[in-house]
Structure 1
């Protein structure tokens, strides 16, 4: 998202963000291309974190809202939730220390959810944080939510049996990636991990060995959902989570259906973002994306009140986009999910070769192969435009279709022979074939080697993998460069397997910049991440930025209030309701 730090106003520290030449999402269809200015703020006035959430125009109470999705949500345990579907379902039944006010039009405000504010930086050094917990927040059985249940929820995330969720809090508290070796949850169930305390029922305190200035963002993830110890069913919690949100899970049929109904103990006066319009939400699993979209397009019976979770399939984009009657039932929005041609910097060591790769790519042609502008939008930066501090630039200006002559000039008569590892899925094969053509017209010789789709991610995370190039993607956990650049490009994190730094890029000067910027406040970090983004590309070209995903959704005629999350790029249900 885009640059500058504005002065505090109305109790909020403004972090100016922008999306250039993107698609506006109105939340109700009527999608148009526009220049969109997007802003993100961290609220400092407690009033911003108070409920109730503003009423949604035209919304009425009652009815069943259905979400149709091909694959099931693996489980609903908040401490293990990390999939997009899980992240968007969790706010219906769980509350977190902080959360995002998001209007789907580019305006983001980080507010207190369980907490009265997004946290207090006690000593102004980002090492000690306190959160005051709101009065009036209750579990589904009516008992109050206190700091102790929130702390217990965080503590259980240290249990290695409960893997799958984010590990920021565990690693920061333990001051090591091997957090479960520093503190054993099973042996200390009545205690708390190092650095986490509850001075009283309404105070949660974090103490870190190093500055953790992004903590207010990190605690917006479901790992901070509260849980009473007597309701902890371990690995089975995902089948019947204990609600603190506006809905509670009343039916969980693995792989088939999840039903959530109103939680009568949820108090809207404590909740700044959620509503409780439908009587129930039903998640229905099984239909393919094509089948789900066709059902919703047909708009019969219960499907009038349904949303097809998956983006409109490429096979149906032309039909949906060309039908004026469907326009009010579509939502079109850019997302924060960025895609790159990742260069294995251990194998491709010549900077001019990496720069030539950047000049060679025809992004416009690639977008056409993917299905057009309703599927993808070209990008030339490491951070997507939906990032605090984003600045547009093009380090290797090659126009929309690439500049093969400039690439050949950089190669200086060389014909680099590179191996492109590609998943054996149809989409990735199409993209790989397109890129092979781009690169070979620019003087490269490219061999495509197929990787089983379900094994690809694990394989490219191995340091000694055998490929020079592969397709990669990244969606940040919050819209800050802190959850993108250090994660993907800090060479000190490289290990034998399980690497997020799949470019295997390592530069001491860049690593030092990561350390410096991470000690700054989030407001100060934004412009610094933007500068570093451009520096990394100009000095090192570790990857070729390709495109951001575009969300294109279709829903039934009676489904309202759905918008694309500015943080995660998938449908949000906090405003969902049914129309007459």
Structure 2
């Protein structure tokens, strides 16, 4: 997935705004500017900041259709299962959450109440009891009121292991264990609520935790807190037709080829601090590869004049787009802290020397060139991306910019490991996997490439007994500290048979798990340097993955699209301000 953390300036401002949260187990927030932005941010303390309507976008007009082009279909529309790049941004159209971010598209972000009147109240001043007052006037697409009951039900259904794919922060915090399904069985009684979650009245939602979770206001900005009417819940089929609480509702779902959203007549802008309802419709069109997307938008004809490429400019066309001054005003470029790795299945590749050899074998310059150059990617050697607080610059397996196949062969000692590399079957990952295969085979490995359907890739690689030795993985922090990267990806206690968030590396080292507990128990300010130190220790002692690169978003849109920007939270195309020029 792609998420966008903040620079130190933004995060510290947000942490300061939380006041009593000095002993939280994880740090707080999400957001980051590009290299040319002046980072700033805050958490709203004045309830007025959480009210609507959102400030009008200069020059915006009502009417028309905005089309978002993407090669692969959306994995999930069910808000409790949404955790992909496109899902997180698209769900803003139809799934409101307890909190959200106002984002000016220039690096300034403010965490505000969305369904809630404020970003939450730390009732006991120890981050163990939180309350959210639900706004009046928020309605579903059928006109019925959204209350604390429907929000609580949405959170409760996220405990259902049949509804995999979404984040598990709230489940684990409420249950006080990564094995949250052992503490609450949603399917046994769908009228019950998980431990620690209550609705004292229709406008109050209360969280009570065994441990302090000062970052809750940020965790509830994920769509897992979107309300779901119990009577409309169709289980796994809810993916096909979620009920809207936002400015748009799903009008048509065409079997993985197209989604059409139309205005929700019951959305009240007075309750919404960040969304608009400018276009008549939004269309998400799937199937066109990045080459086709880029060429269509360059041509700027018909419906494509009001389209935007979600996948971004194809690597083969970067130089053409960059070299055309006429296209400059129609491009968006923003580095993201979304990091990509060659993830090693530690269940299958158990020899540390083999994992270390994989690290020496990679030609990162070649990888970046395959992707289109530094316009779209930047090589990294650390588990945490450089934008992370506490980041430490190191290279555990120094092989130069182009790799050291000789050192890799030395570690292999004459062996020629046969490994299967799984990858999403879109154009970008097909090219990348071919480059990685070439790198590894020069170093003595024998690699078999296995494509995996892009829309099921995350679900499939999160299955504990999956059949791949290696896969192209990605992760972006839900908060910009090691707390939302290293424990999430490498704490073996979170491994499940299906739906594991343990980054698909399946590393499980008791000594490392104990280190996570030790650091997470520290005050936030004390954690930062510890995460950088632990990052290096993990790579030196376990080498669970091969860090590859940090993504840069570089995309193009039609001449009639206005209000499009790169989201400061997710690092992808934001549509909440979009409009069509007459």
Structure 1 counterpart of 2:534, from 519, 532, 535: 532
Q: Report what 2:572 is aligned to.
A: 570
State the 1:286 CA deviation. 4.1
Distance in 1 separating the partners of 2:15 and 2:158: 37
| Post-superposition CA distance 1:202-223 (Å, at most 9, x none) | 2211123344344323211212
Q: Report what 1:513 is aligned to.
A: 515
Q: Report what 2:23 is aligned to.
A: none
Aligned to 1:566, what secondary structure does the other structure show? coil
Verify: 1:306 aligned to 2:296, yes or no. Answer: no
Q: Report what 1:337 is aligned to.
A: 338
Q: Report what 2:266 is aligned to.
A: 265
Q: How does 1:404-483 map to 2 (within 5 A)?
A: 407=407, 411=410, 414-415=413-414, 417-423=416-422, 430-432=431-433, 434-435=435-436, 438=439, 444-454=443-453, 470-483=471-484
Q: RMSD value over aligned CA atoms?
A: 3.7
| Post-superposition CA distance 1:45-94 (Å, at most 9, x none) | 43443333333233233322222334443553322323332221111122
Distance in 1 separating the partners of 2:535 and 2:518: 14
Structure 2: state its 5+ residue gaps: 1-5, 20-26
Distance 1:63-1:423 versus aligned 2 partners, 3 A rule? same
Q: Report what 1:486 is aligned to.
A: 487
**Length-normalised TM-score, structure 1:** 0.83
Verify: 1:372 aligned to 2:387, yes or no. Answer: no
Asked if the contact 1:386/1:566 (under 8 Å) is kept, the reply is: no
Asked if the contact 2:70/2:289 (under 8 Å) is kept, the reply is: yes
Asked if the contact 2:31/2:568 (under 8 Å) is kept, the reply is: no
Q: Report what 1:165 is aligned to.
A: 166
Q: How does 1:120-159 map to 2 (within 5 A)?
A: 120-159=121-160
State the 1:176 CA deviation. 4.4
Asked if the contact 2:315/2:370 (under 8 Å) is kept, the reply is: no
Distance in 2 separating the partners of 1:459 and 1:269: 42
Verify: 1:555 aligned to 2:557, yes or no. Answer: yes
Aligned to 2:445, what secondary structure does the other structure show? strand
Aligned to 2:452, what secondary structure does the other structure show? coil
Asked if the contact 1:97/1:115 (under 8 Å) is kept, the reply is: yes
Verify: 1:79 aligned to 2:80, yes or no. Answer: yes
State the 1:377 CA deviation. 1.5
| Post-superposition CA distance 1:176-213 (Å, at most 9, x none) | 45544543434433332222101122221112334434
| Post-superposition CA distance 1:270-313 (Å, at most 9, x none) | 32221222232223344444333322221122221112222222
Distance in 2 separating the partners of 1:531 and 1:433: 33
Aligned to 2:274, what secondary structure does the other structure show? coil
Asked if the contact 2:353/2:412 (under 8 Å) is kept, the reply is: no
Asked if the contact 1:40/1:388 (under 8 Å) is kept, the reply is: no
Asked if the contact 2:61/2:579 (under 8 Å) is kept, the reply is: yes
| Post-superposition CA distance 1:254-276 (Å, at most 9, x none) | 33443323334333333222122
Structure 1 counterpart of 2:547, from 540, 545, 548: 545
Distance in 2 separating the partners of 1:356 and 1:283: 42
Distance in 2 separating the partners of 1:242 and 1:435: 42
Aligned to 1:551, what secondary structure does the other structure show? strand
Distance in 2 separating the partners of 1:461 and 1:9: 32
Distance in 2 separating the partners of 1:66 and 1:396: 44
| Post-superposition CA distance 1:447-476 (Å, at most 9, x none) | 112334349767765667787655432244
Q: Report the count of equivalent residues.
A: 564
Distance 1:146-1:16 versus aligned 2 partners, 3 A rule? closer
Q: Report what 1:53 is aligned to.
A: 54
Distance in 2 separating the partners of 1:51 and 1:520: 38
State the 1:161 CA deviation. 4.9
Moved more, 214-223 or 494-503: 494-503
Q: How does 1:285-324 map to 2 (within 5 A)?
A: 285-324=286-325
Asked if the contact 2:347/2:507 (under 8 Å) is kept, the reply is: yes
Distance in 1 separating the partners of 2:30 and 2:146: 34
Moved more, 45-54 or 520-529: 520-529
Distance in 1 separating the partners of 2:363 and 2:331: 29
Moved more, 369-378 or 381-390: 381-390
Q: How does 1:104-253 map to 2 (within 5 A)?
A: 104-180=105-181, 182-253=183-254
Distance in 1 separating the partners of 2:292 and 2:360: 40
Aligned to 1:155, what secondary structure does the other structure show? helix
Asked if the contact 1:69/1:286 (under 8 Å) is kept, the reply is: yes
**Length-normalised TM-score, structure 2:** 0.83
Distance in 2 separating the partners of 1:435 and 1:286: 25
Distance in 2 separating the partners of 1:132 and 1:220: 15
Asked if the contact 1:423/1:429 (under 8 Å) is kept, the reply is: no
Aligned to 2:327, what secondary structure does the other structure show? helix
Moved more, 366-375 or 205-214: 205-214
State the 1:337 CA deviation. 2.6
